[in-house]
């Protein structure tokens, strides 16, 4: 599938948000995704990921939640993450939805969200605070919303976690699963033997796990296809 990628910009109130957008060039309206980056910032891994998803038929928006800051140093990344204005970040994410809906090649009734690590926790918060999402995919969130926030979750959720994760340990995953079950939330949780935290990011080979990445990618595409491509709003 032919695609095109570009810098994007939209407003969140009086604030501006820079982003990266990838989309199919085929005519018609396509389902859309907001993809949220890890604690490193919006690096080339997430630009490439947006292109991969665009080739699957999605319009993909990756907001720069650090507003230009980017690092490969884990100490700096940790400081950027813990210093993040969470409310502004969530509003930056939610502001991407009307932006996408205003684009002529987007089917505004079919918008989902995908997040990794820090972005996974932010995706959870955003999914809980707006009812219009059609699907949410969470990879090994390292930011844990208050369980009360999950009461607002109304879309199906898919979660991916490494069994050897030292940042998002199995105890957190099981607590998360129990909260979802208690709230009767539609969800799938998958665990990956031998995989640790951030196992999908090949820019960090010390954590990358090829088999878990491939399996989780297949599951993600199947989940998104079910809830976005085959959902009632499909044109």
Distance CA 131, CA 153 (A): 7
| 117 is a catalytic site residue | yes
102 contact partners, CB below 8 Å, separation of at least 6: none
| 187 is a catalytic site residue | no
Helix or strand (DSSP H, E) at 1: none
Distance CA 143, CA 168 (A): 9
Q: Are 213 and 200 in contact (CB under 8 A)?
A: yes
| 197 is a catalytic site residue | yes
Distance CA 163, CA 196 (A): 6
Q: List, in sequence order, every residue forming a beta bridge with 161; answer none if it has no partner.
A: 191
Tracing tokens 């399996």 back to the chain, one arrives at 215
Q: Which of 107, 165, 187, 209 does the annotation list as catalytic?
A: 165
Tracing tokens 């502001």 back to the chain, one arrives at 95
Q: Which of 37, 187, 197, 227 does the annotation list as catalytic?
A: 197
- Residue 212 tokens read as 């878990």
Q: Which of 92, 107, 117, 128 does the annotation list as catalytic?
A: 117
Task: Report, in angstroms and rounded to the nearest whole number, the Rg of the chain calculated over CA atoms.
Answer: 16
Catalytic residues: 117, 165, 197
């Amino acid at each position: 599938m032919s695609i095109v990628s570009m810098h994007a910009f939209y407003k969140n109130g009086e604030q501006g948000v820079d982003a990266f957008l990838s989309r199919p060039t085929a005519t018609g309206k396509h389902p859309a995704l907001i993809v949220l980056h890890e604690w490193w910032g919006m690096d080339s891994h997430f630009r490439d990921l947006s292109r991969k998803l665009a080739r699957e038929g999605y319009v993909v928006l990756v907001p720069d939640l650090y507003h230009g800051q980017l690092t490969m140093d884990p100490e700096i990344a940790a400081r950027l993450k813990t210093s993040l204005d969470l409310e502004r970040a969530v509003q930056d994410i939610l502001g991407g939805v009307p932006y996408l809906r205003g684009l002529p090649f987007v089917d505004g009734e079919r918008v989902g969200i995908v997040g990794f690590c820090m972005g996974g926790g932010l995706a959870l918060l955003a999914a809980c605070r707006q009812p219009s999402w059609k699907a949410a995919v969470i990879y090994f969130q390292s930011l844990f919303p208050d369980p009360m926030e999950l009461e607002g979750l109304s879309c199906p959720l898919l979660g991916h976690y490494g069994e050897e994760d030292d940042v998002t340990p199995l105890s957190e995953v099981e607590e998360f699963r129990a909260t979802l079950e208690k709230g009767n939330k539609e969800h799938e949780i998958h665990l990956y033997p031998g995989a640790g935290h951030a196992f999908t990011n090949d820019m960090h080979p010390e954590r990358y796990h090829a088999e878990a990445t491939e399996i989780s990618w297949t599951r993600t595409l199947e989940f998104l296809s079910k809830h976005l491509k085959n959902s009632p709003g499909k044109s």
